[in-house]
């Protein structure tokens, strides 16, 4: 019998159904699942990972990395304890065959779930260095079967109710079956190390999404495949077709772009990322990851097109760069923001946060929910933050942050401070300077045009001469304007009045001393009218 | 990659042709690297071989100046992007003549090419073609025309066609179209009449008239006829045949047997004399006195047109070229993984 005012303890438990749901797939997109596999290769010390997608049908995907590989025992441990990875985030190790060090991305050991989300069957072959033994494992994610409902094939859990009943009595939840056999390699191959994943029977919805066959259901949509010889080539196509890509067309190009954004690959040697350029140090930082990702014979880099930096119409206006700044206790961040009037593709607009080089989500146009309105200025910014110590703030899919995490909040605070005190004030200042420059240019053109009517060579210059100097200095047909004079501060509202005054002086109708008095009188009268109506 | 593609990729006979016919002709250009237009087999073994030999530049994961055309989309894409160390610079799906006619900018801007490899796996003028011109002949014609338009002075042209006569099905011949064979006959006939050198060399190979030649010595007749056809197309564009050769690949392991003729032509600039004679009126009135055509007659009469058959030559050539073919086959962008020993467990 329960006594009043006395607490009773209960364990809080998670239902099998939730775990099963998670195991069915936690990644929003196929690129997200591939990211997990690439991250695994990165943590395994691989310097290169190759992905053969089987484009355009995507019937089979092969991911191979030259990382340290696994022994049979290690692998068995992994598949029997998914989510209990022994390797923590932030573990530093020397990259084999290089002098550089690498910090692990860290994960929950859920790469197998990523595979299960993509396909029904996978063959894993792996071998470690200094050994002639390896293994081959065939994983069959038996919990799923494909059923056709209303003409659509869908992956479903086999007899869900029955399995749930069994789950209540289990401590672990089987999501598939694995058959392993040992392999022996010739002695000549003892040095070789690798892990190869051959994903077969790619799930129908994944295949349909990647191949774009879903689009065939729209009869009037005739989408032709694109072809890119190189990744730079693909970036150009991505920019040109971005609107269509956003609406679900060209999924392959989207996949490549997303993998390039996620992965800790190097920057292309273009524009400000070139060595010794403004962001050369960040470029070097990315190069130091010594990590290459090749998709279908195309080496991917960070998604920056050469044209982004070579467009004379929309040049890069400003670059903000921060190196090794402390944002939280003992935690450092480096990063940059590029200001450019027309950022294309639009997917580059915003800020991208990276933890150990790997992107968390895509470019965030809210700038980590910056609370002030900066209108179109947001769309003129693209940047990345390379932060340390954020692994604890990552959600399970590594695609978003727990926005109440202390360390994440410190990063947000630091970044918003930079935006508020450094970035936007500077942009505003530059914008104002540009406006004044445009007005001066307009006045100059109008004065010259006015003079040409009477075949007079009128010219006007703008200089800063100090507050005590007169507004105008006339020499022949040339007029110099003192921009420090109260009437010489250009703005759009005063432009007509200023133009008239300049013409009166140039035409010798009013002397340059008298015009100041007239202008002062006009200003005083205007103020009075405004005050008294 | 399907089994047939795999079989083609690892065929030592085809590799022999790559090395001993195609490569020999490319050498004649005395130039590296080359620009290359190919209707490749779905394994790009030709591209890989010429890259290995230094004729194609591989830079930043791209086979530079290589244009691949295929009208087999599902097989074509994985090849163009997944079978090599990198990707072809330009890759087009469709038929060459249609792409050229529609002024496909990616293709047009790549003209002229140093080497053009029109590796058709079927008849260049089959029975189902339009009675006047086949798509494949249109390809050849338009490509040569574009070489001329783009001021190409010298190039190599490879043409491969199936030639075997198959049994009639439902009363229809399933080989070259009759109109095509007739056209070849008339072209050869005109050469016999107006070109004494050709006539002399023709008589060394064939004993009777052209109809008998077709019946008794079909393969040589086809070979000469197609070279003559190409020679005329070249002459119309101000080109001459500087050298010419051929090889036969007979696929006889699986029925029906397929005879594939591989022709290689070294093309240069030059004017070919036009011949007008009363005797020619029945053949269209105008012909070209192409000296180059006699080169193929020389090769045939001197026994220099090799014929490779699967049953006879496969094993022998496999021993010779097998490991190199394997090396080419594995030359992809993917990380190489060692082969385990058999009976691993």
Question: Between A and B, how many residue pairs show a Cβ–Cβ distance under 8 A?
Answer: 99
A183 and chain B: CB distance < 8 Å anywhere? yes
Distance from C-alpha of A68 to C-alpha of B130, rounded to nearest angstrom: 60
Name the closest residue on chain A to residue B1, using Cα atoms.
Answer: A54
H-helix segments, A8-100: 16-24, 30-43, 72-80
pLDDT at A87 over 80: no
pLDDT digits (tens, 9 = 90+) for B250-259: 999 888 888 9
Contacts 24+ apart (CB under 8 A), A512-515: A512/A470, A512/A471, A512/A472, A512/A473, A512/A474, A513/A470, A515/A471, A515/A472
Q: CA A34, CA A420: separation in Å to the nearest integer?
A: 36
Name the residue facing B335 among A65, A186, A228 (closest C-beta): A65
* CA distance readout (Å), B172 to A56, A262, A430, B132: 37, 59, 80, 18
Report the chain A residue with the minimal C-alpha distance to residue B91. A227
Nearest to A298 among B61, B89, B340 (CB): B61
First-residue to last-residue Cα distance in chain A: 84
The C-alpha torsion from B300 through B306 and B311 to B312, rounded to 10°, is: 100
User: What sections of chain B are H helices per DSSP?
Assistant: 3-9, 12-17, 23-27, 45-52, 73-82, 96-101, 105-108, 135-149, 178-194, 196-205, 210-216, 218-235, 293-301, 310-329
Give the model's pLDDT for residue A217.
64
* Chain B CB contacts of A49 below 8 Å: 335
- Dist CA A212 CA A223 (whole Å): 9
Across the range A291-298, mean pLDDT stands at 94
Rounded CA-CA distance B171/A190 in Å is 64
Q: Which residues of A touch B104 (CB under 8 A)?
A: none
CA–CA separation, A43 and A89 (whole Å): 9
Q: With an 8 Å Cβ cutoff, are B340 and A196 in contact?
A: no
Tell which of A194, A270, A296, A299 to mutate to test the B interface (max B CBs under 10 Å). Answer: A296
Q: Select the residue of A182, A186, A296 nearest B81 (Cβ to Cβ).
A: A296
Summarised one tens digit per residue, pLDDT across range A297-355 is 999 999 999 888 888 888 888 899 999 999 999 999 999 999 998 899 999 999 999 98
**CA atoms within 13 A of residue B182's CA, in its CB half-sphere:** 8
Phi, psi of B263 (to 5 degrees): -110, 140
Paired tokens of A468: 């005590």
Asked whether residue B344 carries a pLDDT value surpassing 60, the answer given is: no
Residue A477 sits at the chain B interface (C-beta within 8 Å): no
> Token pair for residue A79?
């598949």
- State how far the Cα of A364 lies from the Cα of A347, in Å rounded to an integer: 9
- Read off φ and ψ for residue A326, nearest 5 degrees: -85, 125
Instruction: Compare B244 and B41 and report the one with higher pLDDT.
Output: B244
Type and span of the H or E element at A509: none
B69 has a chain A CB within 8 A of its CB: no
Q: Which of B81, B84, B341 sits opposite A55 (nearest CB)?
A: B81
A177 strand-pairing partners:
A140
**A473: exposed, middle or buried (Cβ count in 10 Å: 0-12, 13-18, 19+):** middle
Give me the residues of B, 21-60, that contact A with CB < 8 A: 60
Pairing of strands A298-300, A478-482: unpaired
Task: Please state the ipTM of this predicted complex.
Answer: 0.82
Mean confidence (pLDDT) of chain B? 85
**pLDDT 10s digits, A203-234:** 888 888 888 776 666 666 666 788 899 999 99
Q: Which residues of A314-336 are buried (b: 16+ CB within 10 A; e: fewer)?
A: eebeebbebeeeebbeebebbbb
Chain A interface includes B109 (CB < 8 A): no
Q: What is the dihedral of CA A341, A346, A350, A355, to 10 degrees?
A: -130
- CB of B179 within 8 Å of a chain A CB? The answer is no
Q: Which residue of A has its CA nearest to B337?
A: A194
Under the banding of pLDDT at 50, 70 and 90, the label for residue B283 is very low
Question: Is B78–A56 a contact, with Cβ atoms under 8 angstroms apart?
Answer: yes
Mean pLDDT highest for which of A185-189, A287-291, B214-218? A185-189
First vs last Cα of chain B: how many Å apart?
29
Using CA atoms, how far apart are residues A389 and B205, in angstroms rounded to an integer? 83
Is B80 within 8 Å of A227 when comparing Cβ atoms? yes
With H, G, I as helix, E, B as strand and everything else as coil, classify residue B250.
strand
Q: How confident is the model at residue B45 (pLDDT cuts 50, 70, 90)?
A: very high
Nearest to A253 by CA among A237, A267, A268: A237
Chain A residues within 8 A of B341 when measuring between CB atoms: 183-186
Closest by CA position to A144, among listed A268, A24, A26, A25: A24
pLDDT value of position A487: 84
**H/E element holding A58?**
none
**Residues in B touching A189 (Cβ below 8 Å):** 338
Give which of A62, A180, A227, A265 to mutate to test B binding, by max B Cβ within 10 Å: A227
CB of A296 within 8 Å of a chain B CB? The answer is yes
Q: Which H or E element spans position A183?
A: strand A177-184
Cβ–Cβ under 8 Å, residues B163 and B226:
no
For residues A89 and A105, what is the distance between their CA atoms, to the nearest angstrom? 5
- CB–CB of A195/A71 below 8 Å? no
CA separation, residue A436 to residues A21, A433, B52, B93 (Å):
60, 5, 61, 54
Shortest distance, CA B82 to any CA of chain A (angstroms): 5
Least confident of A167-171, A268-272, A448-452, B180-184: A167-171
For chain A, say whether B62 makes contact (Cβ under 8 Å).
Answer: yes
pLDDT band for A494, please (50, 70, 90 cuts): confident
Span A12-31, average pLDDT: 72
> Is the bond preceding A56 in cis, omega lying within 30 degrees of 0?
yes
What values do phi and psi take at A179, rounded to 5? -115, 130
Q: Based on C-alpha coordinates, what's the Rg of chain A?
A: 32
* CB contact (8 A) between residue B60 and residue A194: no
Kindly determine whether residue B77 and residue A228, on different chains, have CB atoms separated by under 8 Å. Answer: no
Q: How far apart are CA A394 and CA A360, in angstroms?
A: 8
Contact status, residue A41 vs residue A67, Cβ threshold 8 Å: yes
CB contact under 8 A, B345 and A192: no
Q: What is the pLDDT of residue A143?
A: 54
Omega before residue B256 within 30° of 0, cis: yes
3-state secondary structure at position A96: coil
* Among A66-80, A188-202, B47-61, B173-187, the least confident range: B173-187
- Taking an 8 Å cut-off on Cβ atoms, the answer to whether A296 and B338 are in contact is no
Nearest alpha-carbon partner for A273 in A244, A316, A329: A316
- DSSP designation for A265: P
CA nearest neighbour of B292 among B313, B314, B277, B271: B271
Do the Cβ atoms of A225 and B93 come within 8 Å?
yes
Measured in angstroms, the CA of B340 and the nearest CA of chain A are apart by 4
Q: Are B337 and A196 in contact (CB under 8 A)?
A: yes
A282 neighbors A354 (Cβ within 8 angstroms): no
């Amino acid at each position: 019998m329960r006594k009043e005012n006395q607490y009773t303890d209960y364990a809080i438990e998670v239902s099998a159904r939730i775990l099963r749901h998670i195991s069915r797939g936690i990644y929003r997109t196929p690129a997200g699942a591939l990211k997990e596999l690439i991250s695994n290769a990165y943590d395994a010390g691989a310097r290169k990972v190759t992905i053969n997608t089987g484009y355009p049908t995507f019937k089979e995907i092969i991911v191979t990395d030259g990382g340290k590989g696994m022994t049979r025992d290690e692998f068995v441990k992994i598949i029997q304890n998914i989510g209990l990875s022994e390797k923590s985030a932030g573990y530093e190790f020397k990259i084999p065959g290089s002098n550089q060090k690498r910090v692990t991305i860290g994960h929950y050991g859920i790469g197998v779930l990523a595979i299960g989300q993509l396909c029904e069957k996978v063959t894993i072959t792996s071998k470690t260095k200094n050994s002639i033994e390896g293994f081959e494992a065939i994983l069959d994610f038996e919990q799923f079967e494909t059923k056709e409902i209303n003409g659509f094939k869908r992956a479903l859990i086999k007899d869900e109710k029955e399995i749930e009943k069994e789950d209540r009595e289990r401590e672990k939840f089987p999501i598939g079956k694995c058959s392993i056999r040992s392999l022996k390699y010739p002695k000549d191959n003892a040095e070789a190390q690798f892990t190869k994943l051959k994903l077969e029977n790619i799930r129908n919805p994944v295949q349909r999404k990647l191949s774009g066959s879903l689009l065939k259901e729209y009869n009037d949509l005739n989408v032709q495949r694109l072809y890119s010889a190189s990744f730079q080539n693909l970036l150009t196509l991505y920019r040109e077709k971005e609107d269509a890509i956003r609406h679900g067309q060209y999924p392959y190009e989207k996949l490549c772009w997303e993998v390039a954004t996620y992965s800790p690959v190097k920057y292309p040697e273009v524009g400000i990322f070139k060595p010794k350029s403004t962001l050369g140090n960040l470029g070097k930082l990315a190069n130091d990851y010594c990590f290459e990702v090749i998709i279908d014979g195309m080496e991917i880099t960070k998604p920056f097109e050469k044209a982004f930096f070579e467009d004379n119409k929309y040049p890069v206006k400003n670059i903000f760069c921060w190196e090794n700044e402390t944002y939280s206790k003992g935690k450092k961040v480096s990063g940059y923001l590029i200001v450019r009037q027309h950022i294309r593709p639009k997917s580059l607009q915003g800020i991208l946060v990276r933890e150990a080089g790997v992107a968390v989500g895509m470019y965030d146009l809210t700038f980590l929910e910056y609370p002030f309105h900066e209108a179109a200025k947001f769309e003129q910014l693209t940047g990345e933050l390379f932060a340390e110590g954020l692994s604890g703030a990552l959600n399970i899919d590594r695609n978003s942050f727990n926005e109440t995490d202390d360390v994440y909040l410190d990063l947000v605070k630091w970044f918003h401070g930079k935006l508020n005190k450094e970035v936007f004030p500077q942009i505003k200042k530059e914008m104002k300077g540009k406006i004044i420059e445009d007005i001066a240019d307009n006045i100059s053109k109008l004065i010259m045009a006015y003079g040409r009517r009477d075949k007079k060579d009128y010219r006007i210059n703008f200089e800063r001469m100090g507050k005590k100097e007169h507004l105008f200095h006339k020499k022949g047909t040339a007029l110099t304007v003192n921009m420090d004079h109260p009437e010489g501060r250009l703005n759009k509202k005063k432009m007509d009045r200023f133009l008239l005054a300049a013409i009166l002086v140039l035409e010798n109708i009013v002397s340059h001393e008298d015009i100041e008095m007239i202008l002062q009188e006009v200003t005083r009268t205007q103020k009075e009218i405004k005050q008294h109506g | 990659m399907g089994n047939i593609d795999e079989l083609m990729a690892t065929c030592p006979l085809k590799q022999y042709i790559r090395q001993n016919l195609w490569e020999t002709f490319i050498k004649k250009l005395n130039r590296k690297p080359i620009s290359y237009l190919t209707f490749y087999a779905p394994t790009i073994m030709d591209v890989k071989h010429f890259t290995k030999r230094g004729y194609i530049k591989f830079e930043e994961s791209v086979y530079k100046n290589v244009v691949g055309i295929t009208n087999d989309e599902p097989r074509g894409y994985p090849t163009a992007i997944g079978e090599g160390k990198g990707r072809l610079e330009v890759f087009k799906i469709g038929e060459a003549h249609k792409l050229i006619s529609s002024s496909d900018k990616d293709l047009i801007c790549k003209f002229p090419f140093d080497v053009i490899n029109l590796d058709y796996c079927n008849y260049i003028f089959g029975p189902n073609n339009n009675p006047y011109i086949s798509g494949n002949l249109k390809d050849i014609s338009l490509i040569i025309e574009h070489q001329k338009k783009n001021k190409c002075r010298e190039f190599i042209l490879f043409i491969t066609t199936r030639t075997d006569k198959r049994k009639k099905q439902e009363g229809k011949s399933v080989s070259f179209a009759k109109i095509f064979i007739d056209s070849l006959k008339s072209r050869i006939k005109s050469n016999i009449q107006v070109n004494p050198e050709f006539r002399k060399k023709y008589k060394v190979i064939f004993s009777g008239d052209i109809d008998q030649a077709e019946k008794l010595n079909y393969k040589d007749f086809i070979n000469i006829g197609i070279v003559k056809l190409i020679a005329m197309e070249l002459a119309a564009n101000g080109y001459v045949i500087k050298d010419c050769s051929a090889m036969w690949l007979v696929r006889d392991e699986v029925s029906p047997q397929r005879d594939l003729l591989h022709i290689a032509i070294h093309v240069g600039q030059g004017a070919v004399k036009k011949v007008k004679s009363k005797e020619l009126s029945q053949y269209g009135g105008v012909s070209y006195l192409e000296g180059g055509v006699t080169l193929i007659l020389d090769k045939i009469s001197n026994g220099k047109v090799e014929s490779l058959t699967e049953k006879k030559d496969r094993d022998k050539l496999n021993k010779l070229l097998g490991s190199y073919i394997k090396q080419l086959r594995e030359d992809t962008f993917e990380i190489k993984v060692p082969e385990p020993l058999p009976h691993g467990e």
